[in-house]
A and B are shown apart, each in its own frame.
Chain A
């Protein structure tokens, strides 16, 4: 592998913001400095003032494999991830079969390595088959390389089971990731309860279903000393509870996803299934509360919450269509929207997409440092493009951002020093 000098870029990583050059050697970041000479034989790339940041670390995405290859394969997800600047991705275990066996954890890690462009960090299932009944072998799964535990899109409903899982996982230093929604309250709901759901005649889920689960699990984290992480948090009420819990020093963390700070429930329009997400899109006041929690640090990471769907899934009546949106290629662009409108600094945005999720996952990437793997993303913060379902990289085209103009475009992605996009 030849050396690469990326010249004249804004280097942006946790604790680092400077104009300069970066040298890649043997798949690692060999050096970076306001000015580096080009070593003999090194390829030089002129960054032309664009931003070079660590490859994005997406801490929540569903992959079609194993079991739903018609929606997306790992190869196609890797292609979309590379186009989105993502070099590390944590995948959910509610596949078919569920990732509840050490062999499956090994398989997912290996499949990631085989892509050559994407490190896949699998979550292990909290319960066998993600059925919410018996606890899976958390110890063996940890040993095999599971980064944390979750039942994916399903909440761990039983308080007893959640207590046991938090307590047992603590012994292995592992975190439990919860889909925060009380299932008995959510029922068969498919939109946030309120005037929008009423107008469309769709069964509603009260926004409080999120806060109720968050409140319960914060108390269980305190009871057990365990670590709980709330995924795709979308309501102000839940974020207030998380903020308080953090202030009291509990091991509570959370992430959100771009739809929850970029869209509100009105995006559903006339039954548009690309906008059917779980949790459902919220009222605008909740969207604004998510932005405030990103700005004040309550939210630890922005994840794509990628859920591939194919046309047979989305061309269904709204209430029966499976929820979820494609999110890999749009993760950076939508997040930069909050920088352009002044809600976040560029450093905050990049940390939420790189260093902070990397720390939560115990991942190697996520920072620009000498000797760190050369997982890098080069993007132009102002370059304009438009999201178009049908023309996105990868197989999954079910983007909730269809038609949205974007400001900020990935122009190059490197995985372990090898250029995988651009």
Chain B
């Protein structure tokens, strides 16, 4: 075993061999899932709780399916974030879950660092399923698995991450993972949607798609939320699409065999053109969803072994 953490809270801080271990294990789950012969008893008697403080259908479903395929008892809890005191809810819920002796706790929260806070208060292994604008580690792992299976490698590839990097936890996790594994990572988007000092993460920053996509093996698009327009970070959806939306013309700047990725859910016509999103050879967006289940199985499997004190 090569994974040395009790939790999966962030990609930042993981060593290449830890990431490699999760990806290899996930790869084997892809084959098992496709053959229909999943190990239905690996997590028998274990309790997995999906604790979602923020709406999410696909991530929650993906974790639920992963847990069930491994035989865990899966419980979904959705906690409204509209309650006045979110923090109280968070720690009160943590105390409740601890009393229920949950083994694996999957958390999504709209506040950066909320899973870290929970991890300090519960005995379960905590998996960050997206926290604020901080990280979304399983998304980065499933993106890496998709890339690895399609391209045969990760190291040395050129990857353009495009759009609202400022508010994207997916971008942060991907930047950490892909730079750790030796990729050439570029971030592309308007200056108002770029986090401060992002270049210090070992990425190159571009403000136009032509330069940013040049020679890219992978074009990873990010979701642009409508709220960014009301805060004047970009003037309008049509202007955004004109300069940073992925269409055939802009895709042509990338390599001929560049793959198109998107973490979903997509805003068609805002950050990505429908024809591109559904491109039969180049778009791997549906495959990302399939990889998501396998990656989450690998994470649950790994964290449930040895109570997270693997090989230490």
Residues of A within 8 A of B (CB): 193-195, 197-204, 206, 270-271, 312, 315-321
A317 and B113 contact, CB distance less than 8 A: yes
- Least distance between B216 CB and chain A CB atoms (Å): 22
Interface size of B by Cβ–Cβ distance < 8 Å?
A: 26
If the complex has contacts A193-B196, A201-B131, A201-B169, are A271 and B87 also in contact, measured as CB distance less than 8 A? Answer: no
Contacts of A203 in B (CB 8 A): 133
Tell whether B214 is near chain A: CB-to-CB under 8 Å. Answer: no
The residue on A at minimum CB distance from B198 is A198
Cα distance A24–B181 in the bound complex, in angstroms: 71
Closest A residue, CB atoms, query B12: A199
Q: Does B83 contact A (CB under 8 A)?
A: no
- Min Cβ gap B72→A in Å is 27
Min CB gap B178→A, angstroms:
16
Separation of A194 and B196 alpha carbons in the complex (Å) = 5
The number of residue pairs between A and B whose CB atoms lie closer than 8 Å in the complex comes to 75
Q: Is the CB of B197 within 8 A of A319?
A: no
Name A312's contact: one of B88, B134, B169 (CB within 8 Å).
B88
Report which of B90, B131, B196 forms a contact with A195, defined as CB distance below 8 A.
B196
| A317 touches which of B12, B86, B195, B201 (Cβ 8 Å) | B86
**Contact yes or no, A270 B195, CB < 8 A:** no
Assess whether B135 is interfacial by the CB under 8 Å rule: yes
> Is A200 touching B134 in the complex (CB atoms < 8 A)?
yes
Q: Decide if B132 is an interface residue (CB 8 Å cutoff).
A: yes
* A194, A195, A200, A312: the one within 8 Å of B113 (CB): A200
Chain A residues near B109 (CB, 8 Å)?
Answer: 317
Interface string of B114-145 (1 = CB under 8 A from A): 10110000000000000111110000000000
What's the nearest-Cβ distance from chain A to residue B122, in Å? 13
Task: Decide: B196 and A197 in contact? CB cutoff 8 A.
Answer: yes
In angstroms, Cα B266 to Cα A45, docked, is 76
Q: How far is the CB of A143 from chain B (nearest CB, A)?
A: 41
A320's partner among B12, B111, B135, B195 (CB-CB below 8 A) is B111
Please indicate the chain B residues that have their CB under 8 angstroms from the CB of A318 in the complex: 111-113
* Other 14 A-B pairs with CB < 8 A, given A199-B172, A201-B172, A321-B87: A195-B197, A198-B195, A198-B196, A198-B201, A202-B113, A204-B195, A315-B87, A316-B117, A317-B90, A317-B113, A317-B114, A317-B117, A320-B87, A320-B111
Q: Does B230 contact A (CB under 8 A)?
A: no
| Contact indicator A315/B117 (Cβ below 8 Å) | yes
Give complex CA distance A55, B160 in Å. Answer: 61
